[in-house]
Copies of this chain bind each other. A is one copy, B any other.
């Protein structure tokens, strides 16, 4: 239990120190950090350490080095603490967990989209729906694009952001499309009609209807995953 004290390396200490300085406002967004040479002299470490600490900060999205120019501060606050850490995309139960989360987010998105959707967003949604109709069955990208266009119609950038994040987690899993039952025409028709219902409700500015249609759609996806879970 006391093993977690693992003697932080110089690079780690320097990274934390720099991150703290950035968070404290010593270096503000847009500022240029001292050059690697200066940092090295200041902290009494080699350039190797400096570079590794900066690489870590870059990974955290805090800074952005520009060759020949310097290292510039991007964001003041460290990026929010890693959610979805223990997600094992190979496990169906993990997929169901994510789907439940998506349900919450997307149902709300559908409701907001119904209230706020403008002509331009309507066009995008309809275009995504048309592409989905034409797309090959089980085309996850077309499906995702429709959901994304709805999220964008909320005019709240956090919704498409979240969808992207969750989508990146779900894409690796093709269990549903691989399952034999999922390729039946009946299944495809059901999915299509669910999509139509969602879009129709949004275009009708029917908030409650949009929520309900989206909930039906995603609950259906959950149910299909659960069935697979039982079959395994």
Residues on B with beta carbons closer than 8 Å to the beta carbon of A103: 108
Q: Which of the segments A35-43, A74-82, A123-131, A133-141 contacts the partner chain?
A: A74-82
Q: What is the 8 Å Cβ interface bit string for chain A, positions 65-80, against chain B (1 contact, 0 not)?
A: 0010000000111111
Residues on B with beta carbons closer than 8 Å to the beta carbon of A60: 59
Known interface pairs A104-B109, A172-B23; A162-B87 also in contact (CB < 8 Å): no
Q: Which of B78, B97, B112 contacts A157 (CB 8 A)?
A: B97
Residues on B with beta carbons closer than 8 Å to the beta carbon of A83: 80, 158, 161-162, 164-165
Determine how close the nearest CB of chain B comes to the CB of A102; give it in whole angstroms: 9
- Count copies of this chain in the complex: 2
CB of A100 closer than 8 Å to a CB of B: yes
CB of A193 closer than 8 Å to a CB of B: no
Known interface pairs A52-B51, A79-B85; A108-B97 also in contact (CB < 8 Å): no
Among A108, A164, A168, A169: residue with most chain B CB under 10 A: A108
Among A61, A100, A158: residue with most chain B CB under 10 A: A158
Determine how close the nearest CB of chain B comes to the CB of A12; give it in whole angstroms: 9
Residues on B with beta carbons closer than 8 Å to the beta carbon of A161: 83-85
Residues on B with beta carbons closer than 8 Å to the beta carbon of A85: 61, 75, 79, 161
Extra inter-chain contacts (11) besides given A56-B58, A61-B85, A87-B158, CB under 8 Å: A23-B172, A51-B52, A78-B168, A80-B87, A83-B165, A85-B161, A97-B156, A97-B157, A101-B158, A104-B108, A104-B159
- Taking Cβ atoms with an 8 Å cutoff, the residues of A that contact B are 9, 11, 23, 48, 51-52, 55-56, 58-61, 67, 75-90, 97-98, 100-101, 103-109, 112, 154, 156-159, 161-162, 164-166, 168-169, 172
**A-B pairs with beta carbons under 8 Å apart, 19 shown:** A9-B67, A48-B51, A56-B56, A56-B58, A58-B59, A61-B85, A75-B85, A77-B89, A77-B169, A77-B172, A79-B85, A80-B87, A87-B158, A100-B108, A100-B112, A101-B158, A104-B109, A105-B105, A105-B108
